């Protein structure tokens, strides 16, 4: 479920990447993070070799597709900053992930920053013409469970049951990785080899660590510096994180200083 559906009351919980939540946090004051369920270094820049892209500097002047307001957008900007490539020198094309796959296949864009399973689909089309640039470096992004103030206030027991279910799923993935990969392949339409290829980049764990705050603050600062929000001050992310649910079901997983 998306954050839009969550805000409109058509869903009680959404699962989104941390940057998507940070983007929304500048505008919405009624959202709460109840837990991080996975972390990944799976956002990468995928480029067509025939467009002349083999290293970071080659991105300048090229058309690069990215889903707007997602972790891929932040990863792309951070990658350019680390490698001395002016972000403004890229021709950014905002597209949904599924449309990005088709755009890079047809060559209407030179490169894209996306995540699995879209990376595997692009590689399936391009084959040896694929150039992969690891845009995240060693920085994980998190998949978050997000809800509203009224849900944690009125249904705390439901939040706890949901977190317990996520912990059970984490245990299943850890104990039965092959079966878990088969389930993902069936749900996404990927081959088992494509799922297995991206598996080492994903870590399924229900937790709330101090590094989550650090990452969200870095993302908010990047948005402000690149004028992606009209706000000039980031929210206090301690105020939008609900710790009581996870403290009740797995207290050792709460590492946020509060």
Residue 143 has pLDDT above 60, yes or no: yes
User: Band of the pLDDT at 138, cuts 50, 70, 90?
Assistant: low
pLDDT reported for residue 136: 58
Query: Which segments of the chain belong to CATH 3.40.190.10?
Result: 3-38+143-211+234-250, 44-133
- Residue the block writes with tokens 């749900």: 187
Residue 3 has pLDDT above 90, yes or no: no
Q: What is the mean pLDDT of residues 247-258?
A: 93
pLDDT reported for residue 99: 96
Topology of domain 3-38+143-211+234-250, per CATH? D-Maltodextrin-Binding Protein; domain 2 (3.40.190)
- What are all long-range contacts of 250-254, with beta carbons under 8 Å and residues at least 24 apart? 250/163, 250/167, 250/206, 250/207, 253/205, 253/206, 253/207, 253/208, 254/207, 254/208
Topology of domain 44-133, per CATH? D-Maltodextrin-Binding Protein; domain 2 (3.40.190)
50: Cβ contacts below 8 Å, ≥ 6 apart: 107, 129
Question: pLDDT tens for residues 38-96?
Answer: 988 778 899 999 999 999 999 999 999 999 888 888 889 889 988 999 988 999 999 99
- In this prediction the pTM is 0.81
Q: What's the whole-number average pLDDT of the chain?
A: 91
Determine the length of the chain.
258
């Amino acid at each position: 479920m998306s954050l839009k559906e969550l805000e409109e009351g058509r869903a009680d919980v959404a699962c989104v990447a941390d940057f998507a939540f940070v983007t929304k946090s500048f505008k919405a004051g009624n959202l709460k993070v109840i837990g991080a369920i996975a972390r990944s270094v799976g956002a990468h820049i995928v480029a067509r070799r025939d467009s002349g892209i083999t290293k970071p500097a080659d991105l300048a002047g090229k058309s690069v597709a990215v889903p707007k307001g997602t972790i891929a957008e932040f990863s792309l900007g951070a990658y350019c900053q680390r490698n001395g490539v002016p972000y403004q020198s890229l021709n950014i094309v905002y597209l949904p992930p599924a449309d990005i796959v088709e755009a890079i296949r047809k060559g209407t864009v030179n490169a894209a920053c996306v995540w699995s399973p879209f990376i595997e689909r692009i590689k399936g089309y391009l084959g040896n013409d694929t150039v992969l640039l690891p845009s995240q470096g060693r920085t994980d992004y998190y998949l978050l469970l997000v809800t509203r103030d009224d849900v944690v206030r009125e249904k705390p027991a439901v939040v706890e049951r949901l977190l317990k279910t996520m912990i059970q799923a984490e245990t299943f993935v850890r104990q039965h990785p092959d079966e878990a990969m088969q389930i993902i392949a069936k749900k996404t339409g990927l081959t088992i080899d494509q799922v297995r290829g991206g598996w080492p980049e994903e870590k399924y764990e229900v937790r709330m660590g101090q590094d989550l705050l650090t990452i969200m603050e870095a993302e908010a600062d990047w948005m402000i510096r690149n004028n992606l929000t009209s706000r000039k001050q980031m929210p206090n992310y301690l105020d939008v994180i609900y710790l009581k649910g996870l403290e009740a079901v797995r207290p050792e997983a709460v590492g946020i200083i509060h």
